[in-house]
Structure 1
Amino acid sequence: MNLEQRIDAFVKLGTFFKQFTSEGIVKKEETEFNNLFFDAFKMQINRAQEFNGWFTKNNVLKAFESWSIALTEENLNKWTSKYNFNISKEIKTVAVIMAGNIPMVGFHDFLSVLISGHNIIVKQSSNDKYFLPLVAKFLEHFNKGFKNKIIFTEGKLDNYDAVIATGSDNTARYFEHYFGQKPNIIRKNRNSVAILTGKETKEDLEALGEDVFQYFGLGCRSVSKIFVPKNYNFDLLFGALFKYKDIINYKKYENNYDYNKAVYIMSLFNVIENGFVMLKEDKNYASPIATLFYEHYENFDTLLEKLKQESEQIQCVACNENVVDFVKLGKTQHPKLWNYADNVDTIEFLLEI
């Protein structure tokens, strides 16, 4: 297969995904291969929460919707146009160890390896292992050139040329020990933050709520901490976030809220809360579920310098000020194909191995 054929396959996959959106599941008769794959995808989406309690149907559909928007011919061509795919004609085998914190979280690595022309060995998380095998079957049916290029394994990884592994700070040490002799990308814990200036409208702050609450805050692009000016009026923020109050009705989230609230009370921490999310002043970036850390700042430029120095802990920064590399409030969960995790260019890595 050449690059054009690989792009065509993922465009078709994106079209197929358009039947699964946050508005619901709607079968479109003109979509190719529905007779083979639509019911299988629908069943796995409906059953996802049985296997992972955090994978609500709505969150799974949001993930599919996000990828359906990304996988267009225009986006795929724009993404791949900056690279020279003729650098190396030798096909390598890349082992990809995936996280399982949000639905389809490993898809970008999966896409990157295959779009670069390499073979992939996938080691999925037990928390998210039912969608990618279906995606692989779809691709193989659309273009038989994908056959024998995709292998899923639950055992020991063998016969690979490079590794992409995503995990925690603890598992990263394990990955570095075992895979350090091979070309690799090893990702650690990261969190996303937002900067508020006090000029935000209610609509802006409602958009921030999506960054905070989508996927229950479990993603690396979920905003876990906000920076606010001195004397910031949190009533404005709480008023806007009230739109997301129903999240407390989900039992797993409620249990975390109750547990963390009890810990804070017993520890005599000063916490602001509204019945479904707690605001805690904290220097750290990784906040527990149902908690949003905050920190005051006095000077915007000084804050930017601080974030630059601590960039290895940060996945992305949401802010409505016009600063290069920042994303607008409400957009952290909608990365472009060229927005790489940990700011490491995966395609460049794959073309050079």
Structure 2
Amino acid sequence: MNLRQRIELLGRLGDYMSSADPAWLEAKERAFALNHWFVPEFTDLAVGNIVNHFLQPSLLDTWTARYPGLGKGPARNVGVVMAGNIPLVGFHDFLSVFVSGHRQTIKLSSKDNVLLPHLVGMLREWAPELASTIVFSDLLKGCDAYIATGSNNSARYFEYYFGRYPSLIRRNRTSVAVLDGSETPGELDKLADDIHQYFGLGCRNVTKIYVPTGYDFIPLLSSLKRYSWFFDHHKYKNNYDYQLAIYLMNNQFYMTNDSIVLLEHKDLFSPIGTLYYEYYQYQPSLAGNPDVQCVVGHGGLPFGAAQQPLLEDYADGVDTLAFLAKI
């Protein structure tokens, strides 16, 4: 199968993912039944972003055209370790290996082990020759290269086992927003999306905001109320209650709108149900910070765009397709 055929097949997959095919609807329902963080609203959001930003043939043509050597070398077996924090979070890695012409052996997270196998099953149904080129396995022995995504702790194990092979190893990352106080209500509503979509579990979710000294939090707290329905989600509510109890016991100053807690803190990574903030006198410089995936705000990524990555928005800023073109 050449690159043109692969892109056409991906376009067909995008059409399927946009459909109301009963088998696809059942797969999404089953994913939610096995992982209650995968609520239908956010699964559909992830699917829509993949269809609109990844699986359009014209976009795939432009993307792959930048790598003239793609698929011209020998096909290698790439082991892919996928995370499971948000629905189909590993799809870009799957897509990258697929268009590169390499074979792949995928180790799925137990949190997200329904959606991608279903989609791969459709590809195999349309093109049976793919059966031997896309394999799911709990063991990744004997691969020629590796792409592994996980926590900082698991990254140490990945480096130990995979370090002697060509590899991309990804660690914890998060996103931040830098506010200047001039944000419109519409921009704050979009910032609420950047913070709350996927319950804040993604590396592109804003978990901390930087605000100027004397910042008025009332408009932001009002915008964040758009997600007050999170309190109907028992997992989120349990996390919120737990964190709030800790802040109360420690006599820490906090703000809340009864859907999220705002806490002044130096760290970038805030727990579920909490948004950290930090005052600044001069706008902070976050360029090159290895823990930061996106910076949202005026002069950075537009508000509301954090969870709408494009094909060129590689995790950790490392060009996956360039890596695959060289192995």
Tell me the TM-score range normalised by the shorter chain: over 0.9
In the superposition, the TM-score normalised over structure 2's length comes to 0.97
Count of residues paired in the alignment: 326
Task: State percent identity of aligned pairs.
Answer: 42
| Residue identity matched to 1:249 | D
Question: What residue number does 2:4 align with?
Answer: 4
Question: What residue number does 2:325 align with?
Answer: 351
Question: What residue number does 1:13 align with?
Answer: 13
Greater mean alpha carbon deviation, residues 59-68 or residues 92-101: 59-68
SS in 2 for 1:228: strand
Question: What residue number does 2:313 align with?
Answer: 339
Match of 1:313 among 266, 283, 291: 291
SS in 1 for 2:88: coil
- The alpha carbon displacement at 1:142 in A equals 2.5
**Whole-angstrom CA distance in 1 between matches of 2:275 and 2:70:** 46
1:59-101: per-residue Cα shift (whole Å, max 9, x none)? 1111111111121112111211211235742100000001110
Match of 2:163 among 180, 185, 188: 180
Q: For residues 215 and 86 of structure 1, do their structure 2 counterparts lie closer, same or farther at Cα, with a shift above 3 Å needed?
A: closer
Match of 1:254 among 233, 237, 243: 237
**Whole-angstrom CA distance in 2 between matches of 1:16 and 1:194:** 35
Tell me if structure 2 keeps the 8 A contact 1:63–1:103: yes
**Whole-angstrom CA distance in 1 between matches of 2:77 and 2:237:** 43
Query: Is residue 229 of structure 1 aligned with residue 207 of structure 2?
Result: no
| Residue identity matched to 2:164 | Q
1:23-80: per-residue Cα shift (whole Å, max 9, x none)? xxxx3xxxxxxxxxx3222112112222112111111111111111121112111211
Question: What residue number does 1:61 align with?
Answer: 44
Question: What residue number does 1:32 align with?
Answer: none
Question: What residue number does 1:74 align with?
Answer: 58
Question: What residue number does 1:44 align with?
Answer: 27
SS in 2 for 1:128: coil
Question: What residue number does 2:136 align with?
Answer: 152
**Whole-angstrom CA distance in 1 between matches of 2:143 and 2:31:** 30
Tell me if structure 2 keeps the 8 A contact 1:88–1:352: no
| Residue identity matched to 1:13 | L
The two structures, once aligned, show a CA RMSD in angstroms of: 1.2
Structure 1, unmatched stretches of 5+, are 20-26, 28-37
Q: For residues 67 and 87 of structure 1, do their structure 2 counterparts lie closer, same or farther at Cα, with a shift above 3 Å needed?
A: closer
**Whole-angstrom CA distance in 1 between matches of 2:230 and 2:128:** 43
- The alpha carbon displacement at 1:157 in A equals 1.6
Match of 2:77 among 93, 107, 127: 93
Query: Is residue 169 of structure 1 aligned with residue 169 of structure 2?
Result: no
Tell me if structure 1 keeps the 8 A contact 2:144–2:165: yes
Structure 2, unmatched stretches of 5+, are none
| Residue identity matched to 1:135 | L
Match of 1:119 among 103, 106, 111: 103
SS in 2 for 1:170: helix
**Whole-angstrom CA distance in 2 between matches of 1:134 and 1:175:** 27
| Residue identity matched to 1:119 | R
SS in 2 for 1:213: helix
Greater mean alpha carbon deviation, residues 257-266 or residues 235-244: 235-244
**Whole-angstrom CA distance in 1 between matches of 2:140 and 2:73:** 24
Tell me if structure 2 keeps the 8 A contact 1:190–1:312: yes
